[in-house]
Every structure is written in structure tokens, then in C-alpha cells.
Amino acid sequence: MIPANPFPEEPGTYFLAYHLRASGEYRIGRFASAFLPEGIYFYTGSAWTRGGLCARLSYHLRLPEHPHWHLDWLKPHLNLLGAGWQVEVRAECQWAQALIAHPQASVPIPGFGASDCRQHCPAHWVFFGTMGGHHAWRKIVEETLAQLLDAPSGFWSGDIAGSMDESPGAGSSGAG
């Protein structure tokens, strides 16, 4: 069960760690379709609008009726493993670049999640393969983001059995 309001209301930077349940061709908005292998993915973003991190992260825990962001198109196929954030910090690109620099990382869809990126990141959606199971996302954070000056300071861990099929509070703590 997801707590009523586990995220801060201040603005800031966040990451989401996901597990894509099956390899396949996926339609992703203007990207038409792309092949994505099963495994662990990270998405980095920022929340500087009304409601801050709470509003944005809560949004990512739901399936949108009408997909808007690149990530929305994949949510039906993802399990949310966890999230991390740093309030009052603009580090979305720094985090994306640190994740991409990991020796096991790759960018499966150039430009994904980075259409408004001002630092010319290859993407804000990074693939890590299976990395030894669902709990490997924490190791990735330790190896990449924890060493940064503006490293995540808050974390939420999802239920790996959960999926986007249920809304928050409806008996599932996973989403994405």
C-alpha cells in the first residue's frame, strides 16, 4: 500500500527505477515504435511546477488516460521498483549523464525523455539489462548517483510485484 503522501511538495529532481516486464516493440508517441529489451531502466526528471515533487511523482504512480510524456506510453508495461529525489536541486541532466556513464548502461532510444533538455543529453531514459534482479537498482544508484554532490536525499521503494494495472492505494504499491 502506498502511503497517502510519501513525496515532498517542494520542487526538485527525481529518478524513477523501472523493470520492463517483456522485451518487444513498444509504441512511444512521436517515436512511433521501438524495440526495448526486458530489464531495469532509469528515468530522470525534474518537477518545478505547482505541487513540486509530490505532484510529479504521484502522477508517475498512475496510468494516464491520455499519454503525454514519453514515459506515459510505456507505463502499462512497467513495474516501478523505486524512486529517489533531491529537493530544490536542478540535477536532472547531471543524474542522466552519470547513469549513462555507468559501464553497463545504454541508451535504447536517443532523445527519450530529453526533448526539452538544454544540456544535449543523449536521453533521460537509461537501460541497465537485468543486472542480477529487481533489487539491482539500488546498487546502480550507489555506483552512480550517490557519489554526486547533488545525490538523491529521499527514496521510496516500490513493490516489485505491483504493476500499473492498479491505481495507488488500491492494494498495489508498484506503478510507474
Q: What is the pLDDT of residue 164?
A: 32
Q: What is the pLDDT of residue 81?
A: 92
CA 145 to CA 150: how far, in whole Å?
8
pLDDT in tens, the chain (176 residues): 344 567 999 999 999 999 999 999 999 887 778 999 999 999 999 999 999 999 999 999 889 888 988 899 999 999 999 999 999 999 999 999 999 999 999 999 999 989 888 899 999 999 999 877 777 898 999 999 988 988 899 888 875 333 333 323 222 233 33
CA 98 to CA 150: how far, in whole Å?
12
Per DSSP, the residues of 114-176 read -TT-SS--S-SEEE---TTSTTHHHHHHHHHTTTSTT---EEEE--TT--TTS-TTSS-----
Question: Cβ distance 18 to 81 under 8 Å?
Answer: yes
Domain ranges of the chain: 12-157
Q: What is the pLDDT of residue 68?
A: 85
Q: What is the pLDDT of residue 156?
A: 87
Q: What is the pLDDT of residue 132?
A: 74
Report residue 12: phi and psi, to 5°: 165, -160
Task: Tell which residue, 13, 91, 79, has the closest CA to residue 41.
Answer: 79
